[in-house]
Structure 1
Amino acid sequence: MARMIKLAILAVALFVLSQTTAAVTTHAVGDGKGWMVPSGDPLFYAVWAAKETFILGDNLFFNFTTGEQDVARVSKEAFFTCNSTDPIALYKDGPANITLNSTGEYFFIGTLDNHCVLGQRLALNVTASPGPPPSPAAPRTKPENYTVGDRLGWLVPPLGEIAYLTWAYNKTFIVGDTLVFNFRNGSDDVAVVTKDAYNSCNTSTSIAYYNNSPAIITLKSAGEHYFTSTYDYHCDLGQKLAINVTGSSTASPPSSSGSPTPGSATSPSSSTGEGPTVGGPTPPPPASAAPYRISGGFLFTLLPIVMAFIY
């Protein structure tokens, strides 16, 4: 009888163990938008991933229609160049479920037509456990220098506007920071323009103009700042940069409507506006496989207690 009681306790303990350690979460990529070419927002999936926590063993649910989309896991270099010639894995049938079975960085793109160039790409980082929430960073007060485009420099980007959108994403710009534009003299320039001129690529007039490299521009005012090139078609082909400048570390991406005046090393001003919206179909997202996570150390605490009832 005593052994039967112990076995019953063991069964209950194992049931509790199986319920409390269900830590796998299914992430519906893009939530209700699914996996698509984002309409007018090439950073849509970057913003989506920034709000998620990816843990070893989690699943990605790419919701798309077979024949209309696909998803390829690629290297970091292939991700930034939209090169799909030699993917790590390719999934042509939708929807696709992908298990994150190792820690580290993952990169996914759509390989059809110009889908990747238009923003159908996802980068994320997988960790072994959720860990404690990060401490809020103190507002930055010391100015910094930013080289626009880093090694790419200031030119017509091979991937279009996404290059400078990606470069500026997650950067914090404050009053006093300096932008350094590296370009080839006689083949390029930098124009500080209004938001309307930025959106329409109208470079007939500019707030400030720089034709000697490197062009060093100090951000002297808070608000939205817009830069492009006056050379023919350079703006239309994606050589344009929009940033938001604040006096603290709480900068957000510039909006896409209105007509404010940006600041520059010679003529600063400030502005505000509304952010963009994301279009596209709205497929139903899948449910998460687990509403919470639990530390693996709990297993090593519970198992000795269970064994003590048997012996």
Structure 2
Amino acid sequence: MASTRGLNRAAILAIAVAAILQLTAAQTTHTVGDALGWLVPPGGAVTYTVWAELQTFTVGDILVFNFGDGDQDVAKVTKEAFKTCNSTDPISLKTKSPANFTLDTIGEYYFIGTKDEHCKLGQKLAINVTSYPGPSPSPAPKGPSTYTVGEALGWFVPPGGSFFYETWAYDKSFKVGDTLVFNFINGTQDVAVVTESVYKNCTKNNTIAIYTTSPANITLETAGEHFFTTTYDRHCKLGQKLAINVTGSSTTSPPPSSPSSPSTFGPSAGGPAAPPISSAPSRFFHGCFFTSLLIAITFFHY
């Protein structure tokens, strides 16, 4: 009997150790700002917004804030405190570097710097933890997806050049029936659906459709390559351009386009099969983007 109890205890211990090892293996450490660290960013709050867009946060992951002791600190705060840069009653405050925060629940997390006007100058970070570690369940069938181009930053001339929209598109799986939403300021931007030649050369001739009112909703009606630029002077050459590759269908019967919107066309079935530049850049390229963007932002502001 004692031998049986010993074996049971050993089995339970083995299961517990295996579970711990699984969680440990799934844990990811995210260094906020990568090599830039945690400081007042030269490009304002957009710097940490872009950094967060390039991460996938999971329960159990760790955020590491690197900064100069005495010059910086980091406070975990509520959403309202984040919006107003109110540091009077933080959830947690750390003044020694490196400052580590474990993401222990699904949901939104907010961090700011409390020194002087640092938060108002852009030293603030908002992230969203969306899943638990471990194998993901098989996805349930779903209908068409809606993608907001550039996420919260929208459709504009990006300070990092065309790398910005290439990086935004790289991990997306666009299907027939999906919708692209372009958000911009009316009168300062537009969206042109163009051919590959117009996209590459940033010319204005032979545009397929032009959308001048925001938000511009464009349904992807055909498989293949789709190209988007703008008709505003020099905007395309400065990086306001997007190329995506649409494969398959998100539904059995893709929904028809709104009759009030211009039609969006992709290449014919006999067109080139190679994916556009933005459809699958390497992970090395993706990792280098943030550093490139920071250099561009610094040059842009100084």
Structure 1 length-normalised TM: 0.48
Structure 2 length-normalised TM: 0.49
Highest RCO, 1 vs 2 (Cα 8 Å, sep ≥ 6): 1
More helix by share: 2
